[in-house]
């Protein structure tokens, strides 16, 4: 299917890292029927409000990019918010989408839905084969419920609802707050602040040994549109870059890009989380999609975005 540029497409979470990238990509492609609502305009936790929105606007397609997200510390310390908000908002959106006749919906999960000890690179069929990583199991359980809901609505109602599992993401508009962010934006802030104050050292969390794969949000946005147009299957599909590095290598790369000359220290009282999380994205690659943004270029752009936003604050 080719997306009709006039079809109403609802991007849930269009102000977030992923949703805003999807919005830019659809605009770039000339879509005129984009629908977005800020949190103040539509609270996705409010079932009645979500149903009313869908009944009134009748979107043809939905990209479900709204979620309560955060890094290892936020996931580990706010489990109730992560499980409740994600279960509630995705249930509201998927059910209201079906009730109002949405033709196609893409639900976004996460690589943390896979078992902690999954064989690497992680294939889609590793889902539910063994125990989850404890630091983010609440978020993971909510995301697993979301993908299962899409599968159930496909089985019972023939709804063309698909689920993509992105790897760790970064990009413009990211969360740079040190207590709730993911590692990449956190380290941009830490190294930048240390450089500005001429601090001799920066402390990163954990041992630096875990391996992570990173994907730019613009690449995920292109993958979402590609999958809307080219994928209709009950099976979940991985979206990764195929490239991994240790957190130590990531820290060294960010320190170099930011221009921090000092020492990098490791606080091993902080958790490492999953030891390795490299996805096998060969099913998506076989369909013809490829990531375009290499990590070095992407980090430079993310640092520029950070500097721009800091300048706007002052």
Give, for 250, the enclosing helix (H) or strand (E). helix 247-258
Query: How many binding residues for ligand GFB (CB under 6 A)?
Result: 26
The active-site residue, picked from 139, 153, 161, 303, is 139
272 binds ligand GFB (CB under 6 A): yes
Considering only residues 160-199, where is the footprint of ligand GFB by CB under 6 A? Answer: 168, 181-183, 186-187
Three-state DSSP class for 233?
A: coil
Q: How many CB atoms lie within 10 A of CB 186?
A: 23
Query: Which CB sits closer to ligand GFB, 160 or 181?
Result: 181
The token pair at 178 is 């040190």
Exactly one of 20, 86, 136, 163 binds ligand GFB (CB under 6 A); that residue is 136
User: What distances in angstroms separate CA 74 from CA 136, 183, 184, 217, 227, one per listed residue?
Assistant: 9, 12, 15, 20, 30
CA–chain centroid gap for 304, Å, is 20
User: What distances in angstroms separate CA 117 from CA 153, 273, 278, one per listed residue?
Assistant: 30, 11, 12
Query: Which CB sits closer to ligand GFB, 46 or 305?
Result: 305
Exactly one of 205, 260, 303, 306 binds ligand GFB (CB under 6 A); that residue is 205
Q: Minimum distance from CB of 269 to ligand GFB (Å)?
A: 11
Residue given tokens 């930048």 in the structure block? 192
Region of 178 please: left (phi>0), alpha (psi -120 to 50) or beta.
Answer: alpha
Query: Which CB sits closer to ligand GFB, 59 or 146?
Result: 146
Residues ≥6 apart with Cβ < 8 Å to 232: 104, 160, 162
127 binds ligand GFB (CB under 6 A): no
270 binds ligand GFB (CB under 6 A): yes
Which residue is at the shortest CB distance from ligand GFB?
A: 71
Exactly one of 66, 247, 278, 293 binds ligand GFB (CB under 6 A); that residue is 247
Exactly one of 50, 72, 150, 295 binds ligand GFB (CB under 6 A); that residue is 72
Nearest to 98 by CA among 50, 26, 38: 50
Residue 139 annotated among the catalytic residues of the structure: yes
| Structural contact between residues 195 and 259, judged by C-beta atoms closer than 8 angstroms | yes
Considering only residues 278-307, where is the footprint of ligand GFB by CB under 6 A? Answer: none
Exactly one of 10, 23, 98, 139 binds ligand GFB (CB under 6 A); that residue is 139
Instruction: Enumerate the active-site residues.
Output: 139
Instruction: List residues near ligand GFB by CB under 6 A.
Output: 71-73, 75, 110, 112, 135-136, 139, 168, 181-183, 186-187, 204-206, 210, 212, 247, 270-274
């Amino acid at each position: 299917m080719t997306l009709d540029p006039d079809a109403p497409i609802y991007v849930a979470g269009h102000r977030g890292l992923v949703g805003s990238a999807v919005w830019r990509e659809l605009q770039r492609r000339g879509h005129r029927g984009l629908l977005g609502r800020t949190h103040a305009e539509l609270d996705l936790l409010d079932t009645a409000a979500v149903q009313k929105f869908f009944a009134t606007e009748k979107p043809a397609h939905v990209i479900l990019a709204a979620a309560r997200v955060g890094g290892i510390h936020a996931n580990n310390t706010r489990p109730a918010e992560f499980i409740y908000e994600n279960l509630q908002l995705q249930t509201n959106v998927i059910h209201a989408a079906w009730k109002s006749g949405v033709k196609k919906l893409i639900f976004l999960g996460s690589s943390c839905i896979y078992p902690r000890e999954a064989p690497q690179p992680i294939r889609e069929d590793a889902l539910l084969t063994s125990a989850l990583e404890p630091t983010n199991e609440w978020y993971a359980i909510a995301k697993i419920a979301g993908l299962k809901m899409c599968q159930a609505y496909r089985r019972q109602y023939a709804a063309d609802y698909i689920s993509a599992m992105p790897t760790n993401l970064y990009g413009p508009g990211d969360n740079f707050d040190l207590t709730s962010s993911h590692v990449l934006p956190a380290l941009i802030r830490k190294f930048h602040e240390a450089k500005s104050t001429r601090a001799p050292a920066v402390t990163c969390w954990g041992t630096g040994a875990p391996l992570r794969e990173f994907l730019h949000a613009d690449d995920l946005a292109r993958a979402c549109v590609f999958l809307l147009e080219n994928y209709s299957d009950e099976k979940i599909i991985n979206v990764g870059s195929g490239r991994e590095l240790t957190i130590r290598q990531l820290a060294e790369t960010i320190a170099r890009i930011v221009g921090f000359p000092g020492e990098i220290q490791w606080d091993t009282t902080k958790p490492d989380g999953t030891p390795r999380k490299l996805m096998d994205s060969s099913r998506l690659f076989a369909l013809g999609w490829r990531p375009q943004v290499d990590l070095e270029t992407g980090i430079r752009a993310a640092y520029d975005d950070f500097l721009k936003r800091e300048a706007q604050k002052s």
